[in-house]
């Protein structure tokens, strides 16, 4: 794409730019990449570079990739030379179509309110390796971020092969062999092996696959981020956090088809994740640990979260041998209902499972979970299922108010062990189903049943006695109510 005409345009724009200091820099850097002490920027004065000064047209038709990348590279070079940070702005009113752009250390993308970054929809818009298919990607970077009040849009609807109210059928870029299966689409924004990541005040919309992906990062803050995916698109996850430590998510709004906040462990443990003050709607799990769970999860807090019309509320789907401990869910309002059973989820407000994904998989242990101040209105009960060799231990439910009623016409009476394990099996509906548990405390738990549906519910508490030990009930109520 780097034509002579484009290069000329780039130079002309630079000469006409008000960033005189910076244009000196730019021409200097093309001849000698090393730091020259003659041209020293004052320290600690953050720079601001506009992609339009680098040639971006923002018409939504022509690719602005090379101009955006040139601005990022200049910004990063300035940081290396001592500028105290640098921002690349996308001015309001523009729609900046782009192939993958690589965010570099010290650079903040400032997508202004009224500006939109639009992800390309062609395979050749993305790097060769499937693991790097993102519209915006930071790798091995520090002090990076995205903000500005604008939007990054993945044009996910362009990846729909057939629209279906139950679940869309999506295209899969698997012909090259770079990716196998039916989940071969680009993600929207990725931070891989980064330190000090900040994403705040930005809209992330219409991802083709996952939306915001944090991989092996340390110290990440995600704040005031709105995520809108398509409600019928599979794998339209909100925020996926893999193998990362010290992550804080606050004031997020997520409305999307698949899991909304989803910590996973593939190659290392995940410690210290906090998510607070969020609003979530999803056709799958609002909060989900797993199912990728090869390493440990420890020290997670979810507080003050509202979950509406979701297929599952708080979920632990542990399948690969990683252990989970010290997890707190507090002050959470949940509303869960049935959707098409091709989606994982069976309207459970709370779902805690550990079982081997395959016959040869290891089984993880889950311990020290607390659910405090939870109110739920749901079409199904709570599902707590360990497995042989994978006990659930030391679970606490304190101040929990459960209202069970039906309002959709989907069939009930199925227990969902997917993925793997026993799959979907027929099972009576109960207030709380329990299997393979050692130590469960219910304190101030109030369960109310809608009278008209009561014949479909078997038991408030349904457990397999030989696998459940040490249940303590203190101030536990269960009864019918009239609608
Ligand atoms: C490619 O994806 C399609 C679904 O979009 C799937 O049916 C097919 O099996 C996949 N082929 C390979 C080789 O992964
Ligand atoms: C973590 O990031 C915050 C800003 O988001 C910063 O203030 C803090 O110094 C960082 N901590 C470390 C250990 O780098
Ligand atoms: C997270 O912390 C654990 C425990 O200290 C460590 O093993 C792991 O490498 C850390 N991961 C990252 C991405 O910092
Ligand atoms: C997790 O947080 C605790 C408490 O703040 C801290 O002591 C610990 O070092 C953190 N773990 C990692 C891996 O950063
Ligand atoms: C809970 O989160 C909502 C936003 O979803 C916020 O308006 C409210 O102030 C938060 N409550 C507390 C006690 O922090
Ligand atoms: C989980 O805990 C068990 C028992 O302590 C241990 O054998 C296993 O190695 C742990 N799993 C991981 C991934 O560390
Ligand atoms: C639960 O709610 C009570 C009453 O509102 C409050 O005092 C307590 O701090 C809450 N607990 C947690 C863990 O937020
Ligand atoms: C439980 O929740 C229901 C429905 O939200 C509400 O009407 C009822 O007052 C709550 N009960 C308690 C004890 O909080
Ligand atoms: C029963 O479980 C509780 C925690 O839920 C624990 O404190 C207690 O020691 C257990 N009792 C026995 C006899 O195992």
3-state secondary structure 81-137: CCCCCEEEEECCCCEEEECCEEECCCEEEEEECCCEEEECCCHHHCCCCHHHCEEEE
User: 78 in a domain, yes or no?
Assistant: no
Q: How far is ligand 2, taken at its centre, from the CA of residue 204, in Å?
A: 23
| Per-residue tokens: 448 | 């109310």
Tell me the percentage of the chain whose pLDDT exceeds 90: 86
d(CA 79, CA 415): 54
Beta partners for residue 437, in sequence order: 392, 468
pLDDT over threshold 90, residue 130: yes
pLDDT over threshold 90, residue 8: no
Residue 235: strand, helix, or coil: coil
User: 415 in a domain, yes or no?
Assistant: yes
Nearest CA to ligand 1 atom 2: 182
How would residue 391 be classed by pLDDT, with cut points 50, 70 and 90?
Answer: very high
129 is in which domain, residue-wise? 87-481
- Lowest-confidence region among 22-26, 125-129, 175-179: 22-26
pLDDT over threshold 60, residue 192: yes
Nearest CA to ligand 5 atom 10: 277
Nearest CA to ligand 1 atom 3: 182
| Stronger pLDDT, 469 or 45, i.e. the higher one | 469
| Alpha carbon distances (Å) from 127 to 100, 136, 174, 230 | 7, 12, 14, 25
User: 464 in a domain, yes or no?
Assistant: yes
Ligand 3 atom at shortest distance from the alpha carbon of 270: 1
Nearest CA to ligand 9 atom 10: 439
CATH code for the domain in which residue 421 is found: 2.160.20.10
pLDDT in tens, 360-383: 999 999 999 999 999 999 999 999
Edge-to-edge, what's the strand order for the sheet holding 312-318?
101-103, 134-139, 187-192, 212-215, 239-242, 261-264, 285-291, 312-318, 348-354, 382-385, 429-435, 457-463
pLDDT over threshold 50, residue 18: no
Nearest CA to ligand 6 atom 2: 323
Ligand 1 atom at shortest distance from the alpha carbon of 179: 14
Q: Which residues line ligand 5 (CB under 6 A)?
A: 277, 279, 304, 306
- Nearest-CA neighbor of 379 among 352, 341, 417, 349? 349
Tokens 């019928």, located at residue: 232
The CB-side HSE value for 66 (13 A sphere, CA atoms) comes to: 11
Nearest CA to ligand 7 atom 5: 373
Ligand with an atom nearest the CA of residue 170: 1
Mean pLDDT of the chain: 91
pTM of the complete model beyond 0.85:
yes
Ligand with an atom nearest the CA of residue 441: 9
User: 182 in a domain, yes or no?
Assistant: yes
Nearest CA to ligand 7 atom 1: 373
User: 186 in a domain, yes or no?
Assistant: yes
How would residue 119 be classed by pLDDT, with cut points 50, 70 and 90?
Answer: very high
Ligand with an atom nearest the CA of residue 145: 2
- In this structure, the number of other CB atoms found within 10 A of the CB of residue 466 comes to 7
Q: Which residues line ligand 9 (CB under 6 A)?
A: 394, 439, 441, 470
Tokens 């724009």, located at residue: 13
User: 114 in a domain, yes or no?
Assistant: yes
Instruction: Tell me what pLDDT residue 456 has.
Output: 73
User: 13 in a domain, yes or no?
Assistant: no
- Nearest-CA neighbor of 207 among 227, 192, 224? 227
Q: How far is ligand 1, taken at its centre, from the CA of residue 172, in Å?
A: 6
pLDDT over threshold 50, residue 10: no
Beta partners for residue 352, in sequence order: 316, 384
Q: Which residues line ligand 3 (CB under 6 A)?
A: 216, 218, 243-245, 268-269, 271
- β-pairing, 414-416 vs 424-426, is antiparallel
Instruction: Tell me what pLDDT residue 83 has.
Output: 87
274 in contact with ligand 4, CB cutoff 6 A: no
Query: Which residues neighbour 322 within 8 Å (Cβ) at sequence distance 6 or greater?
Result: 265, 269, 293, 294, 295, 296, 297, 364
Q: Quote the DSSP letter at residue 231.
A: T
Nearest CA to ligand 9 atom 14: 470
Q: How far is ligand 2, taken at its centre, from the CA of residue 107, in Å?
A: 15
276 in contact with ligand 7, CB cutoff 6 A: no
d(CA 131, CA 148): 27
Beta partners for residue 447, in sequence order: 402, 478
Q: How far is ligand 9, taken at its centre, from the CA of residue 440, in Å?
A: 8
246 in contact with ligand 4, CB cutoff 6 A: yes
Instruction: Tell me what pLDDT residue 413 has.
Output: 92
Q: What is the rounded average pLDDT of the residues 218-223?
A: 98
User: 211 in a domain, yes or no?
Assistant: yes
d(CA 315, CA 310): 12
Ligand with an atom nearest the CA of residue 174: 1
pLDDT over threshold 60, residue 327: yes
Tell me how far the alpha carbon of residue 325 is from its chain's centroid.
21
pLDDT over threshold 50, residue 12: no
d(CA 413, CA 346): 9
Contact 126, 99 (CB under 8 A): yes
Instruction: Tell me what pLDDT residue 43 has.
Output: 53
Ligand 3 atom at shortest distance from the alpha carbon of 244: 13
How would residue 240 be classed by pLDDT, with cut points 50, 70 and 90?
Answer: very high
d(CA 308, CA 119): 29
> Based on the structure, what is the number of domains in the chain?
1
Q: How far is ligand 9, taken at its centre, from the CA of residue 360, in Å?
A: 31
Dihedral angle sign, alpha carbons of residues 260, 316, 294, 323: positive
341 in contact with ligand 4, CB cutoff 6 A: no
């Amino acid at each position: 794409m780097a034509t002579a005409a484009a290069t000329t345009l780039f130079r002309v724009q630079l000469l006409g730019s008000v960033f005189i200091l910076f244009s000196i820099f730019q021409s200097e850097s093309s001849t000698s990449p090393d730091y020259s002490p003659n041209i020293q920027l004052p320290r600690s004065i953050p720079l601001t570079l506009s992609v339009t000064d680098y040639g971006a047209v923002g018409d939504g038709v022509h690719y602005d990739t090379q101009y955006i990348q040139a601005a990022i590279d200049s910004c990063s070079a300035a940081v290396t030379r001592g500028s105290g940070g640098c921002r690349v702005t996308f001015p309001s009113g523009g729609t900046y179509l782009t192939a993958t752009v690589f965010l570099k250390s010290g650079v903040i993308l400032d997508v202004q309110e009224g500006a939109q970054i639009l992800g390309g929809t062609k395979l050749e818009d993305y790097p060769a390796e499937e693991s790097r298919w993102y519209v915006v990607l930071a790798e091995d970077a520090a002090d990076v971020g995205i903000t500005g009040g604008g939007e990054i849009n993945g044009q996910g609807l362009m990846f729909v092969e057939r629209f279906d109210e139950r679940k869309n059928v999506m295209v899969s870029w698997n012909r090259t062999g770079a990716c196998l299966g039916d989940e071969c689409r680009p993600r929207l924004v990725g931070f891989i092996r980064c330190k000090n990541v900040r994403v705040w005040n930005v809209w992330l919309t219409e991802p083709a696959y996952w939306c915001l992906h944090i991989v092996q990062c340390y110290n990440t803050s995600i704040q005031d981020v709105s995520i809108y995916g398509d409600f019928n698109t599979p794998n339209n996850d909100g925020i996926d956090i893999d193998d990362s430590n010290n992550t804080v998510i606050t004031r997020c709004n997520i409305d999307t088809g698949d899991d909304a906040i989803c910590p996973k462990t593939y190659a290392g443990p995940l410690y210290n994740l906090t998510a607070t003050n969020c609003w979530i709607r999803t056709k799958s799990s609002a909060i989900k640990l797993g199912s990728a769970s090869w390493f440990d999860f420890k020290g997670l807090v979810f507080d003050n979260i509202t979950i509406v019309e979701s297929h599952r509320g708080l979920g632990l789907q542990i399948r690969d041998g990683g252990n989970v401990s010290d997890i707190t869910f507090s002050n959470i309002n949940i509303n869960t209902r049935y959707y098409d059973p091709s989606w994982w989820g069976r309207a459970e407000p709370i779902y805690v499972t550990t079982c081997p994904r395959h016959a040869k998989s290891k089984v993880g242990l889950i311990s020290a979970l607390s659910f405090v101040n939870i109110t739920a209105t749901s079409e199904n009960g709570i599902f707590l299922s360990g497995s042989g060799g994978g006990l659930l231990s030391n679970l606490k439910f304190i101040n929990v108010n459960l209202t069970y009623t039906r309002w959709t016409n989907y069939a009930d009476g199925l227990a969902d062990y997917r993925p793997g394990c026993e799959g979907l099996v027929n099972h009576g509906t109960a207030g709380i189903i329990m299997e393979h548990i050692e130590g469960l405390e219910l304190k101030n738990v109030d369960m109310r049943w809608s009278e008209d549906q009561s014949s479909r519910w078997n038991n408030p508490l349904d457990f397999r006695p030989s696998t459940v030990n040490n249940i303590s009930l203190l101030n536990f109520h269960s009864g019918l109510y009239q609608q």
